[in-house]
Structure 1
Amino acid sequence: MTRSVIEEDLIIEGNVASKEGDVEVKGRVSGDIASRSVEIHTGGEVKGSISAETVRIQGKQSGSINCSELSLDQHAEVKADVTAQTLSSEKGARLVGKVQITGG
């Protein structure tokens, strides 16, 4: 399993794909991310869709999210249409958009 880290000083304009790996975003991505898991750290930002098994957001995301398990930390700012099996959110997290929780 591979772990791809997009550091604080890195800006990616384009799509990121890591089918069997994990993607950590500490910088900025303008494009879609497809991975086994995605974590957006505090200070990290994604403008695009995310497709993954697990998604954890501490920073900012706008676009869409399609995942099995979504967790939002207290500083998360999400403007997205979300489809997930489960959603957990800490007090203070912000989510604007259409949300579908399918269960399972």
Structure 2
Amino acid sequence: MNRSVIEQDLIIEGNISSKQGEIEIKGRVTGDLDANTVEIRPGGQVQGAIQAEIVRIEGSHAGTISCGDLVLDAEADVKADVSARTLVSEKGARISGKVQITGA
């Protein structure tokens, strides 16, 4: 599986697609993400729509999320409308918006 990393000092304005790959965000992205796996690392910021099978957030996100499995780290800050099959959230994670969990 291909892995694309947006490093801490990188700012991207535009959409990123890697349908069979993984996108790891340590920097800042303004645009939509479409991948198999999206990981927003501590300090990482995404503003836009995320479409993925697996989404893990340790940083911040604003927009929409449509995914199979959503994992929120204790430091996650999410302002989004969410549609996911499953949700795992650590104590301390923040989420605001419409949340729909459909189940397995």
After TM superposition, give the deviation of residue 55 of structure 1 in Å. Answer: 0.2
Equivalent residue for 1:52? 52
Equivalent residue for 1:73? 73
SS where residue 42 of structure 2 aligns? coil
Provide the aligned length of Structure 1 versus Structure 2: 104
Identity, % of aligned positions: 62
**Residue type matched to 1:55 in 2?**
V
After TM superposition, give the deviation of residue 37 of structure 1 in Å. Answer: 0.3
Equivalent residue for 1:95? 95
Q: TM-score, normalising length from structure 2?
A: 0.99
Unaligned runs of 5+ in 2: none
- Tell me if 1:19 matches 2:28: no
After TM superposition, give the deviation of residue 33 of structure 1 in Å. Answer: 0.1
**Residue type matched to 2:33 in 1?**
I
- Tell me if 1:35 matches 2:35: yes
Equivalent residue for 1:10? 10
SS where residue 74 of structure 2 aligns? coil
SS where residue 43 of structure 2 aligns? coil
Counterpart-to-counterpart distance in 2, 1:35 and 1:90: 23
Counterpart-to-counterpart distance in 2, 1:101 and 1:74: 19
Give the aligned CA root-mean-square deviation in angstroms.
0.3
SS where residue 17 of structure 1 aligns? strand
Counterpart-to-counterpart distance in 2, 1:85 and 1:19: 19
Q: TM-score, normalising length from structure 1?
A: 0.99
Counterpart-to-counterpart distance in 2, 1:82 and 1:73: 16
